Structure 1
Amino acid sequence: MTANRLPRTTAYVRITHQSWSQGRIEGEVRANDYEWQFQWRFRQGQLKVEPSLGRALIREPLSRFLEQFDYQLEPGGDYSFTIRAKL
């Protein structure tokens, strides 16, 4: 199967809170019918995602997105990224 034929899902991220002094970014992520709340403690590299339903599907791609764009993310900002899977 080629990369062009892999299923794709767009995940939408909204940043709700950011604290550089505490090393934390919080927000919401949704993809298709799934919705999660997340808290990323970037100094420790810890990502908490709730609820548990579908968490295994979003955790790794969300972590990569946050690591790549952390300094560009702002509270109230809406962002998106593509997951190479069908959720």
Structure 2
Amino acid sequence: MSQLPQTTAHVQITRRSWQEGAIEGEVSANGWAWHFCWRFRGGGLRVEPSVGRALICDPLSRFLEKSDYLLEPGSNYSFVIRSRL
């Protein structure tokens, strides 16, 4: 059985506001880079620029939902995407 492709995505949290219900940061994977803003009080996830956005939105959203209370501004995190970017 062949191994599934995977890419490691790196996340840096730049801002978190419990009052606004938002986490902002940068995510990069295999030469791609995006800025994101996640409004965890029902506002959804915004990722810019639009180039390659479809590749990162779903896995980033799952990571943020799973880890939201653990994420600290100024900290770096990573997660694996089961795809090759």
Distance 1:46 1:24 in 2: 10
Counterpart secondary structure, 1:37: strand
Residue 38 in structure 1 maps to residue 74 in structure 2 = no
Residue 70 in structure 1 maps to residue 74 in structure 2 = no
Q: For residues 25-80 of structure 1, give each alpha carbon's deviation from its aligned partner in whole angstroms, at most 9, with x where no partner exists.
A: 00000000100000000011500000001000000000000000000000001000
Distance 1:40 1:31 in 2: 18
- What is the RMSD of the two structures over their aligned residues, measured on CA atoms? 1.0
Q: TM-score, normalised by structure 2?
A: 0.97
Between the two proteins, the alignment pairs up a number of residues equal to 85
Counterpart secondary structure, 2:61: helix
Matches within 5 A, 1:1-87: 5-87=3-85
Distance 1:73 1:33 in 2: 23
Distance 1:76 1:16 in 2: 6
AA in 1 matched with 2:76: D
Distance 2:19 2:72 in 1: 14
Counterpart secondary structure, 1:61: helix
Counterpart secondary structure, 2:14: strand
Q: TM-score, normalised by structure 1?
A: 0.95
Which 5+ residue runs of structure 2 have no aligned equivalent?
A: none
Which 5+ residue runs of structure 1 have no aligned equivalent?
A: none
Distance 1:71 1:45 in 2: 17
Sequence identity percentage: 65
